[in-house]
Amino acid sequence: MEGFSFSTEVQVRFAETDAQGIAHHAAFLVWCEVARVAWLDAYAGGYTSIRERGIEALTTGVSLTYHRAAYFHDRLTVWTRCVDVRGARFRYEYRIENDGEVVASGHTDHATVDAASRRPLRVPEWLADAISAAV
């Protein structure tokens, strides 16, 4: 996928379908999260290690466009990249593909906070560096 170098696979679960016979649109947010977790495993020591340092990454915004329906059992490729680290904020972009066709695309916005106080916390340098290296 142009501009993306990291991807994760998910397979549409039956529980993720709805009475329209397609994957429910909220499931895509869960898959984006699965992809972020895999990305953090690959590039930044894992989300768990971030949490263990007393940092939480909150989701502050989501924006997804659905181009095609996805169906039960479909194997989807979730292309992911982290962009735009600024202060306590960063964004992930996604393109979700099914057999080479774009099913959905968009981004999620996040902010790092101190786990205890929930106050904004600048993205730590080691994490910002990991993100830059991944890009």
Is residue 48 close enough to count as binding a second copy by CB under 8 A? yes
Question: Smallest distance from the beta carbon of 123 to a second copy, in angstroms?
Answer: 17
Is residue 46 close enough to count as binding a second copy by CB under 8 A? yes
Tokens of 12: 């549409």
Q: For the chain, first and last CA: distance in Å?
A: 14
Please select the residue that binds a second copy; options are 1, 42, 55, 64, rule is CB under 8 A.
64
Is residue 37 close enough to count as binding a second copy by CB under 8 A? yes
Beta bridge partners of 109: 61, 91
- Residue type present at position 116: A
DSSP string, 87-129: TTEEEEEEEEEETTEEEEEEEEEEEEEETTT--B-PPPHHHHH
Binding mask 95-134 for a second copy (x = CB under 8 A): -----------------------x----------------
Beta bridge partners of 77: 9, 97
Q: At what angle do helices 27-43 and 125-134 cross, to 10 degrees?
A: 100
Piece of the chain touching a second copy by CB under 8 A; list 60-68, 81-89, 92-100, 119-127: 60-68
Tokens of 37: 């977790």
Piece of the chain touching a second copy by CB under 8 A; list 52-60, 75-83, 90-98, 125-133: 52-60
Binding site for a second copy (CB under 8 A): 13-15, 17-22, 24-27, 29-30, 33-34, 37, 46-48, 56, 58-66, 69, 71-73, 118
